Amino acid sequence: MGERRYEHAPAGTLAGLLQRGRGLGAVMAAEDPGAAAELVYGCVRWEWRWDSQVDDRHLYLARLIRDLELPLGPVVEVLAGGEDACGRAARVLELLALSGSVEAREALRAYIRDGEHRFDVLESVAEAWPWEWWGDLEEVVRDRSSGAEAEPAGVAEQPDPMAELASGALLELLADPEEPDRRKVGALCVLFGRESEVGIVPLVPSLGTADGRYPLPRLPGVIRKLGALAMPAAREWAASKARWLAWEGLAVLAEQGEEQDVPTLVAELEQDWVDRVWCGPDRMARGLARFGPGAAEAVSLLRRFWLWTPHSYERAAYLEALAAMGSAGMDQAYTESLWDCEADARLLGVEHAPDGPEVRRRLAYLRDDPIEEPEVKNAAEARLAGLADPG
């Protein structure tokens, strides 16, 4: 069973919409559940998230399976796959159980008794479910504990000698080409915990890894702490041929740049689109959003990223930037977002979707759904209360 696929279907197709967790995909699937069933199951069988650490899909898929009244058998079968596939199916079944499915609950309980990855599933349901649903399975926990190796005795933490050095001495160390990277990383770690040090600005271009591909660890955080102090050097970094340095410069421009920097940020967004770079354009989007209509030349690009990105975590940033720039079509985008896989996008939909029967029905659905995120439920309740009593 495949674990990961990156060849996402086009964003205008039902398959592509479901793979991306787009709200429109859920709406279209509801129009023909039979035709959508295999596509929904495919989103459980295979990993379509661009970044599984931050992209949400479990609630989206659980709702599709529940609302389309799809059989759970194909989802339960995925539990027998590899660790990642099992995890995906388990998270979906956890939510379906919380939504009232006895079949989903019993399927996970059965897996915890005999499944290969039963301990991981048990840990997960213990966090999500009430104790009475899984407490009688504590014997599994005891079995795991009895077979576990003894933890090694803790080693007393040694003080970091660099922590005693003044910031000036740390900068001298960073400027020394003879110092090894490990010591420079140690110096950056100490500086990260102190007040911002402007003296590091001229050293930044020299603080890349030996292969020239990445900044040394902690350097990006030290740069972020500088804020406006990193200007105007960031403009020079942004023009560097070293990609890591250019990115650090662009990140500063996105947060601290002025109107003159808008073309640079737009050019980066354009290149990201050409290269199909899905991780990071949200930072450019937030930077451009600061200029409102003054960055309207980016609207077309941002709209494309919102429609096409498989990295659903970034979708809310594109929506916020489009709104700040006064883009047309926001009512439709906000309404679709009420069905989005990402809670941040649903929140934007709850707050801004135009009033109407369809929106009110969806707000009530979000308010009353037992598996919805608390912040979305509360926002939907508040919005409905405001609509009912606009005065």
- pLDDT given for residue 164 in this prediction: 87
154 burial (CB, 10 Å; 0-12 / 13-18 / 19+) is: exposed
304 and 271 in contact (C-beta within 8 Å)?
no
- C-alpha 67 chain-centroid distance: 25
Confidence of residue 7 (pLDDT cuts 50, 70, 90): confident
Residues 263 and 388 in one domain: yes
User: Look-up: residue for tokens 């050409």?
Assistant: 274
What is the sign, positive or negative, of the torsion defined by CA atoms of 228, 229, 231, 232? positive
For residue 122, tell me if it sits in a domain: yes
For residue 386, tell me if it sits in a domain: yes
Averaged pLDDT score across all residues of the chain: 93
88 and 76 in contact (C-beta within 8 Å)?
no
Q: Residue 70's closest CA among 107, 38, 27? A: 38
Alpha-carbon Rg for the chain in angstroms = 25
For residue 35, tell me if it sits in a domain: yes
Confidence of residue 63 (pLDDT cuts 50, 70, 90): very high
- pLDDT given for residue 348 in this prediction: 98
Count CA atoms within 13 Å of residue 273 on its CB side: 19
pLDDT in tens, 253-288: 999 999 999 999 999 999 999 999 999 999 999 999
For residue 323, tell me if it sits in a domain: yes
> Rounded to two decimals, what is the model's pTM?
0.90
For residue 149, tell me if it sits in a domain: no
Tallying the residues shown for the chain, one arrives at 391
For residue 335, tell me if it sits in a domain: yes
Domain stops at, among 104, 125, 141: 141
Percent of the chain with pLDDT over 70: 93
Confidence of residue 194 (pLDDT cuts 50, 70, 90): very high
DSSP secondary structure string for all residues of 272-300: HHHHT--SSHHHHHHHHHTTGGGGGGGHH
Domain span including residue 263: 258-391
Domain stops at, among 141, 168, 195: 141
Round to whole Å and give the CA distance between 262 and 389. 42
Residues 266 and 391 in one domain: yes
Residues 137 and 262 in one domain: no
Q: Residue 251's closest CA among 285, 203, 299, 300? A: 285
Percent of the chain with pLDDT over 90: 88
Tokens linked to 122? 């048990």
Q: How many domains does the chain have?
A: 2
Confidence of residue 142 (pLDDT cuts 50, 70, 90): low
For residue 3, tell me if it sits in a domain: no
For residue 27, tell me if it sits in a domain: yes
Helix (H, G, I), strand (E, B) or coil at 341: coil
Q: What is the dihedral of CA 161, 162, 165, 171, to 10 degrees?
A: 160
Domain stops at, among 141, 176, 200: 141
pLDDT in tens, 22-56: 999 999 999 999 999 999 999 999 999 999 999 99
Q: In 239-373, which ranges are continuous DSSP H helix? A: 243-256, 262-275, 281-289, 299-308, 315-324, 330-337, 343-352, 357-368
- The answer, yes or no, to whether the previous bond of 354 is cis (omega within 30 of 0) is no
CB under 8 Å to 149, separation ≥6 — which residues? none
Top-confidence residue, 159 or 184: 184
68 burial (CB, 10 Å; 0-12 / 13-18 / 19+) is: middle
At residue 157, does pLDDT exceed 70?
no
Round to whole Å and give the CA distance between 320 and 88. 29
